[in-house]
């Protein structure tokens, strides 16, 4: 009974945490009506225009890798699943409840003694990511368990103490860079097993002293990462939701400045810090803290207006939730290639980057399901990538058929819902100076007929361009129609609107 109450409480506090931390920034933005005094607000402009940020904006597709000690259990231990006892596979250290192994935390904290991934081949990972079409990757240097995959001077709980010994972060950075893929380092501030870590704000001088030690340690590690891996493009921060960190706004503000000074061009998302009023991601005036919105985790904005012009990324798991290796995918809905392509196109059509997560196993091998997805996504990208990279949102009425993207003079429609009449109808405002004038299928280079179709609905502000799909063109996946913009041939005479 006691345990049931504990689990219920844990569930409630997780829910509360997720509501508190995510509720306010992943919906339409509501700006305060009056501006508030904010001293520890944004450091960089809302829309950075430097080359590094432009590169970020153009990635389109990225890969996330969650790898650490949690890869060894893979969400189970001695045949018992942690599915109902831990929040996610990389959270397995927090496994509680009747099924949790005895002395589980101690077992977990000693897993590093067996971390010796014999099949780890960073070049193969990087090649796979490249073939999939990823332009950047985010790698977990250290997750909430605190185990560092690089030889940090500042903690003993690191890779040099594991039988593997070698600097995994370096191996990953070098391999991905060699494939031309930009690397971002995931860094969890939260550390479950660090005695100097505080969840609640320190209550007295002694506690503050301890937490200051933790803050200095965090700072040291971040500078160490910049020193050791100078080619990285940014940090992807996580575990920044606890009160002790929130109350350290002056420290985090200064730290952000120092990190940027040390590494010009560094990209930091909105999770890193908050203002002095405790507002995370966006300050009390609704202004973004950091270079891009970092709250789109396992969710996507409903429409582009929700983003208020901010840069953003969406990070996505393949199973419903679970970032680290999960041995057993059975009985779970795991996203299909079509699901992922749909989310990818939805994301880029709203100016975001879509980042797909992989959780390699304890030996360094990807899950076979991940291998399959990577191959299938890569096959699709080889044909259709120009509708993904460097594209922007299109300000046209939304299409029921799929998602628009644009680049230079080209408009792309990625069709997920093929119309039964084989007419892909593009709605364009009647006063548009540019309309689709030519179309081609990216799948096979076939030119398509484009016909003006003014369907004459009373009071309709749009006119229509019909792209005719060949009946004999079949596709098992979404396909892309590439259109060229040009001046409309002739403007049809306006028919009289009816009086009624």
Q: Which is nearer to ligand FHN, 91 or 464 (CB)?
A: 91
Burial bucket for residue 183 (CB in 10 Å: 0-12, 13-18, 19+) = buried
| CB 235 to ligand FHN: min, Å | 13
Q: Is the dihedral of CA 193, 218, 158, 70 positive or negative?
A: positive
Q: Is the dihedral of CA 451, 409, 376, 447 positive or negative?
A: positive
| CB 239 to ligand FHN: min, Å | 7
Residues 6+ apart with CB under 8 A from 302: 28
Cα(500)–Cα(376) distance, integer angstroms = 55
Cα(194)–Cα(145) distance, integer angstroms = 9
| CB 199 to ligand FHN: min, Å | 14
Asked if 138 touches ligand FHN (CB under 6 A), the answer is: no
| CB 317 to ligand FHN: min, Å | 8
| CB 237 to ligand FHN: min, Å | 10
Q: Which is nearer to ligand FHN, 70 or 249 (CB)?
A: 70
Q: Which is nearer to ligand FHN, 315 or 391 (CB)?
A: 315
CA distances from 179 to 131, 158, 495 (A): 10, 27, 58
| CB 296 to ligand FHN: min, Å | 10
Q: Which is nearer to ligand FHN, 23 or 445 (CB)?
A: 23
- The stretch among 87-95, 198-206, 281-289, 330-338 that binds ligand FHN (CB under 6 A) is 87-95
- The stretch among 88-96, 174-182, 281-289, 478-486 that binds ligand FHN (CB under 6 A) is 88-96
CA-closest candidate to residue 348, choices 396, 308, 388, 290? 388
Q: Which is nearer to ligand FHN, 152 or 188 (CB)?
A: 188
What DSSP string describes 35-92? ----SS--SS-SS--SHHHHHHHH--EEEEE--SGGGTTTTEETTEE-TTTSSSGGGG
Cα(482)–Cα(409) distance, integer angstroms = 10
451 three-class SS: strand
Q: Which is nearer to ligand FHN, 90 or 182 (CB)?
A: 90
Asked if 238 touches ligand FHN (CB under 6 A), the answer is: yes
Residues 455-494 close enough to bind ligand FHN by CB under 6 A: none
Cα(145)–Cα(72) distance, integer angstroms = 13
- Beta partners for 65? 139, 358
Residues 250-289 close enough to bind ligand FHN by CB under 6 A: none
| CB 91 to ligand FHN: min, Å | 6
CA distances from 261 to 236, 284, 285, 343 (A): 17, 25, 25, 35
| Member of 145, 297, 361, 466 binding ligand FHN (CB under 6 A) | 297
| Member of 108, 323, 325, 404 binding ligand FHN (CB under 6 A) | 323
Other Cβ atoms less than 10 A from the Cβ of 454: the count is: 16
Q: Which is nearer to ligand FHN, 190 or 388 (CB)?
A: 190
- The stretch among 67-75, 86-94, 115-123, 177-185 that binds ligand FHN (CB under 6 A) is 86-94
Q: Which is nearer to ligand FHN, 76 or 179 (CB)?
A: 76
Going through 214-279 in order, the beta strands assigned E by DSSP cover 234-238, 267-268
Asked if 315 touches ligand FHN (CB under 6 A), the answer is: yes
Angle formed at CA 344 by CA 289 and CA 479, multiple of 5 degrees? 150
Contact predicate 449/434, CB 8 Å: no
Q: Which is nearer to ligand FHN, 130 or 280 (CB)?
A: 280
Contact predicate 448/440, CB 8 Å: yes
Contact predicate 185/169, CB 8 Å: yes
| Member of 53, 61, 88, 374 binding ligand FHN (CB under 6 A) | 88
| CB 70 to ligand FHN: min, Å | 9
Binding mask 56-75 for ligand FHN (x = CB under 6 A): ----------x---------
CA torsion angle for 188, 37, 265, 314 (degrees, to 10)? 50
| CB 357 to ligand FHN: min, Å | 7
| CB 171 to ligand FHN: min, Å | 21
| CB 322 to ligand FHN: min, Å | 9
Q: Which is nearer to ligand FHN, 186 or 380 (CB)?
A: 186
Cα(76)–Cα(112) distance, integer angstroms = 17
Number of residues that bind ligand FHN (CB under 6 A): 8
Instruction: List residues binding ligand FHN (CB under 6 A).
Output: 66, 88, 90-91, 238, 297, 315, 323
């Amino acid at each position: 009974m006691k345990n049931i109450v504990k689990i219920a409480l844990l569930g409630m506090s997780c829910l509360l945490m997720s509501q508190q931390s995510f509720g306010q920034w992943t919906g339409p933005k509501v700006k305060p009506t009056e501006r508030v005094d904010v001293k520890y607000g944004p450091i960089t402009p809302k829309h950075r225009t430097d080359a590094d940020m432009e590169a970020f904006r153009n990635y389109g597709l990225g890969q996330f890798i969650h790898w650490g000690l949690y890869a060894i259990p893979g969400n189970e231990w001695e045949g018992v699943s942690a599915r109902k006892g831990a929040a996610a596979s990389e959270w397995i250290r927090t496994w509680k409840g009747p099924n949790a192994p005895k002395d589980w935390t101690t077992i977990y904290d000693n897993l590093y003694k067996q971390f010796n991934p014999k099949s780890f081949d960073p070049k193969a990972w990087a090649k796979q990511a490249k073939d999939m079409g990823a332009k950047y990757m985010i790698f977990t240097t250290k997750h909430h368990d605190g185990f560092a995959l690089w030889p940090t001077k500042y903690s003993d709980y690191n890779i040099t103490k594991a039988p593997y010994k070698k600097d995994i972060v370096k191996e990953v950075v070098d391999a991905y860079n060699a494939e031309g893929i930009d690397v971002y380092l995931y860094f969890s501030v939260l550390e479950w097993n660090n005695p100097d870590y505080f969840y609640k704000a320190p209550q007295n001088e002694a506690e503050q002293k301890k937490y200051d030690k933790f803050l200095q340690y965090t700072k040291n590690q971040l500078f160490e990462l910049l020193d050791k891996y100078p080619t990285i493009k940014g940090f992807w921060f996580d575990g920044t939701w606890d009160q002790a960190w929130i109350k350290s706004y002056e420290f985090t503000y200064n730290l952000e400045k120092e990190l940027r000074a040390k590494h010009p061009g560094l990209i930091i998302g909105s999770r890193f810090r908050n203002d002095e009023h405790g507002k995370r991601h966006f300050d009390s005036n609704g202004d973004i803290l950091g270079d891009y919105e970092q709250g789109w985790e396992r969710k996507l904005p409903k429409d582009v207006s929700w983003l208020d012009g901010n840069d953003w990324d969406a990070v996505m798991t393949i199973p419903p939730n679970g970032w680290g290796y999960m041995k057993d995918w059975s009985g779970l809905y795991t996203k299909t290639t079509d699901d992922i392509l749909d989310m990818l196109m939805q994301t880029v059509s709203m100016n975001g980057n879509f980042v797909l997560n992989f959780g390699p196993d304890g030996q360094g091998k990807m899950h076979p399901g991940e291998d399959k997805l990577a191959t299938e996504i890569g096959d699709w990208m080889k044909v259709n990538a120009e509708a993904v990279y460097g594209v922007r949102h299109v300000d046209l009425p939304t299409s029921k058929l799929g998602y628009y993207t644009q680049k230079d003079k080209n408009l792309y429609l990625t069709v997920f819902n093929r119309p039964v009449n084989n007419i892909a109808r593009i709605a364009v405002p009647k006063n548009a100076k540019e309309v689709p004038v030519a179309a081609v299928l990216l799948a096979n280079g076939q030119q398509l007929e484009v016909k003006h179709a003014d369907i004459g609905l009373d009071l309709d502000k749009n006119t229509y361009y019909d792209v005719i799909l060949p009946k004999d063109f079949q596709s098992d996946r979404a396909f892309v129609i590439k259109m060229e913009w040009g001046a409309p041939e002739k403007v049809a005479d306006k028919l009289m609107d009816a009086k009624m």
